[in-house]
A and B are shown apart, each in its own frame.
Chain A
């Protein structure tokens, strides 16, 4: 059955992948999910029709999602109220009658996109819906059935670009919608233990949804930090496990009541099954251990806000000092030195780890940095023979760079041949696609001054000529 899905008008790239991940989680065939746009709507429009096998699945998807404002069974739509009335009247009675029966309670809610409608006009429009033979009682606080009257407006062209939506009026019965109350509950500013790269709650929930976190599953974050991503996975009932190379972060935090554990306690969530200090470059898993995790979600350190570290001294790896032995009496309490961990190496290790440690069909969800030099995203993402990339969602962070949330599904079992094939694939990728991202170039590209200082009056006042329609910038 077709439903109207109205998204929040933000994080545009994330909307459909989230919906599709949840559809698969709740038993719909996500790869064959059919979408269609209302008449004359731009793909960025928040309005999409989607075909789902049952109302039950539709409700589960909508209620678990973060970006679905509402999912509706549409009783009618039109470009004018006359057309709407005609459509609603010809909608089959057997679909309508159960929801307008005598002993039911209901309310009608008015909403608009792209325009503001004064309160009196909203009430008038709701009252004008009286041609629908509602038999039930109105209950504004806690109705059994919510009906939505949604009006959109083509609010003029934006710098010559087509409007996102066309003038359209929809009327439908609400099936479900995101519980955005989660976001203030989990917002970072009220989180006890924070690090400089703690993941924003909304994005963390989106990551957990991409990873299909649910009770009975084990989710691993190899760069756990303060646990901000695992908190979201634990909220959806998954068992969590995290590792970090910085022992102060995972073990000590800022004291007994302000550490990774307290972040879970704060929300009454199940504590992580395990936290440990380990190096993603030299993971301490026992030989033969495989297919332990249902999902791996992480935000790898790619050197913009925080750089990665791995075992082995910087001078040691460069050959400035020869190999040395830590004296016996100093072994306890010795702090091993670490070296910079490049983005390419980090991603390679992550893919190798995921290929080995994920169950078949398990998901690897992680952020990958991208420099923007044009409006189109034309980047090669890391590949691995065990994985299929199913979603790439860009989030623009500044006009220079963005991060892309990659979702990969394990489609082939891991073995030594694959390991070698993956290594070769990685070398090629490193050579051709990420070479220049290395050694501080990414950091420099993000933070270096814009233009060389110039006193030439002609160049002053030259504003950004970018088009006003921001699409994914919202």
Chain B
């Protein structure tokens, strides 16, 4: 699971109002190189929840992203885009879990696939 996916997911258990961001419990982190595509990154920049990405990136062992939301103009900087690219697409959670911030429910991540399906009593 890449951090782009993490940035999109929330706990949708019935009754949970604040299911985002999911806390990452890493067990195995791997890096997979991905082709650098500035257009895609610029497109994604405005849609990302920055704080969630920066925090998640730290937990995954990559602390190069600024904590504060960068200005939109930053996407013109190649150096920034490379870091953004690495954090968003190249750092993978291979094994671990995503934890609902409100209920503590663990959504397991195995072989890089987050299992977001709810139990019967959570629907």
Contacts and interface: CB of A to CB of B under 8 A. Distances in A.
Interface stretch (A48-56, A157-165, A281-289, A428-436): A281-289
B111 A282 contact: no
B26 interface: no
Interface string A292-326: 10000000000000000001110010000001111
B20 A218 contact: no
A277 B20 contact: no
B121 A325 contact: yes
B116 A292 contact: no
Contacts of A337: 120
A275 B111 CA distance: 10
Contacts of A285: 8-10, 12
Nearest to B52: A286
Nearest to A359: B43
B2 A275 contact: no
B72 interface: no
Contact of A312 (B9, B89, B123): B123
Interface in B31-59: 32, 34-35, 37, 39-40, 43-44, 47, 49
B30 interface: no
Contacts of A283: 12
Given A273-B4, A286-B20, A247 B121 contact: no
Interface size class of A (residues with CB under 8 A): 35 or more
A277 B117 contact: yes
Contact of A271 (B8, B32, B111, B115): B32
Contacts of B19: 286-287
B1 interface: yes
A326 B49 CA distance: 33
Given A287-B20, A325-B121, A270 B116 contact: no
B35 A270 contact: yes
Contacts of A311: 117-118, 120, 123
Interface in B79-123: 89, 106, 108, 110-121, 123
A276 B114 contact: yes
Nearest to A244: B113
Given A279-B118, A323-B121, A336-B118, A274 B43 contact: no
B120 A316 contact: yes
Given A282-B12, A284-B12, A285-B10, A273 B118 contact: no
14 contacts: A215-B40, A216-B37, A251-B113, A273-B89, A276-B114, A277-B114, A283-B12, A286-B7, A286-B49, A287-B19, A289-B8, A289-B47, A292-B47, A336-B120
